[in-house]
Amino acid sequence: MLKNLLDIKDLNKSQITEIIELASLFEHKKAKSSVEGKNLALIFCENSTRTRLSFEMAAFNLNLRVFNFDADKSSFSKGETLKDTLQNLCAIGIDVAVIRHSENGIMQKTLADMSCDMKLINAGEGNISHPTQALLDFYTIKKHLGDVAGKNILFVGDISHSRVTRSNIELLEKFGAKITLCSPNCFKSDEFSHIEWSDNLEKCLKSADVAMFLRVQHERHDNHCNGQISLKNYSENFGLNLNKYNKYCKKSTLIMHPGPVNRGVELDSDILDSDVGKTILEQAKNGVFVRMAVLELILNNVEIRGQEVG
């Protein structure tokens, strides 16, 4: 039974495949909601456009009742903890809470402490995990490339601050993808010492089947790369424009970005506004189907292959 979705590490290959297959059924209108009327709360303690709205769209498509929790106007301002907040929402009748929070480890810590059985979904946690983003990226890649085993998947940019990269690596490694990381030295992370790393984007692009560009997360570091690299220098060396794409990429290379994009930093407008950049909006669209599948499986309490506990 999929009780909660806090981390990709909690899912095995079979469970991930089940989510992806159900997402495809929802996309092609071959599956219906069996969870209508249940109550979902959106608790976003960090800003969001795609994740929040696509969870809301997914919930409407499943005929759930959606309760938008305004963190700024909530009793967080009076010092109420996340655990106490969630226990009160559970008492009020919320069945599932979708949570985004800036603190690493808060999801597991809160879950371990809770005494009610409301389900929890991680919608982005600090810089450590963003499981539904990894699932929707996997769904998007599979639609274009099929099996990812042996495929070259390149992540470019602000690796050390990226929860998207962490969750994607955890997922893609389970399915045998060959991952390469490309970044300035100051965005390198020791945590990924087992993965090939380069600071030569042109070289990396030549073999990439997928190149996922990552947002430079200004809010997670005061001084861009500790002042070691200017934005102009960053975009020249680690950004992509159409000229570089045509020169170094295979015709089939998928250009992806989880969003939001810093236009002109990670990707130039000639990429974003052309066919080369269209996969990025597909990622956003696919997020709705993947989140419908996650909500359906969690709220329906169906046996998800092999998982004993959430």
Q: Is 51 in the site for ligand CP (CB under 6 A)?
A: yes
Distance (Å, rounded) from C-alpha 189 to C-alpha 44? 27
How many degrees, rounded to 5, is the angle at CA 178 between CA 174 and CA 183? 115
- In the bound complex, what is the minimum distance in angstroms from residue 172's beta carbon to ligand CP? 17
- In the bound complex, what is the minimum distance in angstroms from residue 256's beta carbon to ligand CP? 11
Q: Is 165 in the site for ligand CP (CB under 6 A)?
A: no
Which residue lies nearer to ligand CP by CB, 110 or 167?
A: 167
Are 42 and 295 in contact by the 8 Å Cβ rule? The answer is no
Which residue lies nearer to ligand CP by CB, 50 or 83?
A: 50
How many residues interact with ligand CP (rule CB under 6 A)? 10
Q: Is 220 in the site for ligand CP (CB under 6 A)?
A: no
Which residue lies nearer to ligand CP by CB, 100 or 224?
A: 100
Which residue lies nearer to ligand CP by CB, 56 or 304?
A: 56
Q: Is 14 in the site for ligand CP (CB under 6 A)?
A: no
Sequence-distant (6+) residues with CB within 8 A of 200 are: 182
User: Which region among 20-28, 81-89, 258-266, 297-305 touches ligand CP (by CB under 6 A)?
Assistant: 258-266
DSSP-derived letter for residue 218 is G
Binds ligand CP by CB under 6 A, chosen from 17, 25, 50, 103: 50
- In the bound complex, what is the minimum distance in angstroms from residue 100's beta carbon to ligand CP? 8
Phi, psi of 179 (to 5 degrees): -105, 140
Q: Is 124 in the site for ligand CP (CB under 6 A)?
A: yes
Distance (Å, rounded) from C-alpha 266 to C-alpha 216? 8
User: Which region among 173-181, 199-207, 226-234, 252-260 touches ligand CP (by CB under 6 A)?
Assistant: 252-260
Binding mask 272-301 for ligand CP (x = CB under 6 A): ------------------------------
Binds ligand CP by CB under 6 A, chosen from 14, 49, 274, 301: 49
Amino acid type, 35 = V
Beta strands in the chain (DSSP E): 39-44, 65-69, 96-101, 119-125, 152-156, 178-182, 196-198, 210-213, 254-256
CB atoms within 10 A of CB 37: 10
DSSP-derived letter for residue 5 is B
DSSP-derived letter for residue 253 is P
Which residue lies nearer to ligand CP by CB, 24 or 51?
A: 51
User: Which region among 26-34, 79-87, 204-212, 254-262 touches ligand CP (by CB under 6 A)?
Assistant: 254-262
Q: Which helix (H) or strand (E) holds 14?
A: helix 13-27
How many degrees, rounded to 5, is the angle at CA 187 between CA 157 and CA 258? 35
Which residue lies nearer to ligand CP by CB, 131 or 258?
A: 258
Which residue lies nearer to ligand CP by CB, 25 or 71?
A: 71
Sequence-distant (6+) residues with CB within 8 A of 246 are: none
Distance (Å, rounded) from C-alpha 66 to C-alpha 278? 30
* The two structure tokens encoding residue 242: 């159409």
Q: Is 260 in the site for ligand CP (CB under 6 A)?
A: yes
- In the bound complex, what is the minimum distance in angstroms from residue 2's beta carbon to ligand CP? 21
Q: Is 157 in the site for ligand CP (CB under 6 A)?
A: no
Residues 131-150 that bind ligand CP (CB under 6 A): 133
Q: Residue numbers of the site for ligand CP (CB under 6 A)?
A: 48-52, 124, 133, 258-260
